[in-house]
Amino acid sequence: MAFYLVIFFILGTIMGSFYHVIGYRLPKGESIMYPKHSYCIHCGKQLVWYELIPILSYIFQKGRCRKCHQKISIFHPFIEIVTGLFFAVSFYSFGFSYELFISLILVSLFSIVIVSDLTYMIIPDEVTFVCALFIIVINFFNLGFVGGLLQLASGILTFVVMYMIMLMGNFIFKKETLGGADIKLMFIAGLVLHPILGMFVIFLASSIALPVSILIYAIHKEHVIPFGPFIVAAILLLFLLKIDLPTLTGLFL
């Protein structure tokens, strides 16, 4: 078990580095394949292989570019570490199974959304679509044709209900209450959770976001906090903990 946990952590850090590239480039319309190598955002220097080792390169370079000596954001190793830890936790929770693949997809989505939503307040539709498509395919393999259709229906139902709630909130408060990209994430919630649990995602995400928002406001006086990362965090948490409807009901009764 320990050997595989280490392997999945290392794999997660490597993928986390790639997800940072996706989350940073895609919202700007840049290709994630060209330029092929990562580059310094300050001076444009293309990074060589030993500058791309997850976590370690940041430590050895003391958090600075080797050419221009500008500071590299701590965000880079943070995403690598978080992705690595969640990859390892995913294997610990599910072992080698279909659920492991779904969990890894959710972790990947979480990492990309953190970068893109915190940096640009944008969640690329391409990322949500690809993740949803992979999960749908896995559901059909894992649950069979009928089970796959039911889970797909759950995703559609969760999306429609949250879309109606958004429209109602926009009408009552005369402003946008939930972003369109956030609603699309709820489709993924329905693909991996029971529809009622999908609804619970918003409550859990809000509960996680509230203390974080208060802390960020106290430090940076920032009023606008992207909600996408909290939605995916709530989905991932419920999935990793294997919370089902009876368990959720038992928590409140």
Please report the pLDDT score of residue 146 as a whole number.
95
For the range 203-207, what are the long-range contacts, defined as Cβ-Cβ under 8 Å and sequence gap of 24 or more? Answer: 204/234, 204/237, 204/238, 205/230, 205/231, 205/233, 205/234, 206/230
Please report the pLDDT score of residue 211 as a whole number.
86
Per the CB < 8 A criterion, the answer to whether 238 and 204 are in contact is: yes
- Mean per-residue pLDDT pooled into runs of 10, the chain (253 residues): 94 94 87 68 69 81 76 87 97 96 97 92 93 97 94 94 86 76 93 89 88 76 79 95 74 59
Q: How many CB atoms lie within 10 A of CB 93?
A: 15
Please report the pLDDT score of residue 179 as a whole number.
78
Q: Which of 16, 19, 66, 61 is CA-nearest to residue 39?
A: 66
What 3-state DSSP class applies to 62? Answer: coil
Please report the pLDDT score of residue 152 as a whole number.
96
Q: Which of 162, 136, 17 is CA-nearest to residue 84?
A: 17
Task: Give the pLDDT confidence of 167-211 residue by residue, as tens digits.
Answer: 887 878 777 777 788 899 999 999 999 888 888 898 899 888 888
Chain centre distance of CA 37: 23
